[in-house]
């Protein structure tokens, strides 16, 4: 189920990668704010890259 959410929805991607971002709430907030400004098309790409950046930051 988690993978289905991860692959198909904006919320799922962001939530699924949230643990890797740790306490960097602005990385989560940044994704939601960006989607508010303009609907995100490459949802998984954005979440995956944030996930990588988050891992570097641990």
Q: How far is the CB of 22 from another protein (least distance, A)?
A: 10
* Residue with Cβ nearer another protein (18 or 50): 50
* Residue with Cβ nearer another protein (5 or 45): 45
Q: What DSSP letter does each residue of the chain carry, written as one string?
A: -HHHHHHH-HHHHHHHHHHHHTT-HHHHHHHHHHHHHS--S-HHHHHHHHHHHHHHT-
Residue 10 to residue 13: CA distance in whole angstroms:
5
By CB under 8 A, residue 30 contacts another protein = yes
List contacts with another protein (CB under 8 A): 24, 26-27, 29-31, 33-35, 37-43, 45-46, 48-50, 52-53, 56-57
């Amino acid at each position: 189920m988690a993978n289905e959410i991860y692959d198909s929805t904006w919320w799922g991607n962001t939530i699924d990668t949230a643990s890797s971002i740790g306490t960097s709430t602005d990385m989560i907030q940044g994704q939601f704010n960006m989607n508010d400004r303009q609907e995100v098309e490459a949802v998984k790409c954005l979440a995956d890259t944030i996930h990588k950046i988050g891992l570097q930051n641990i």
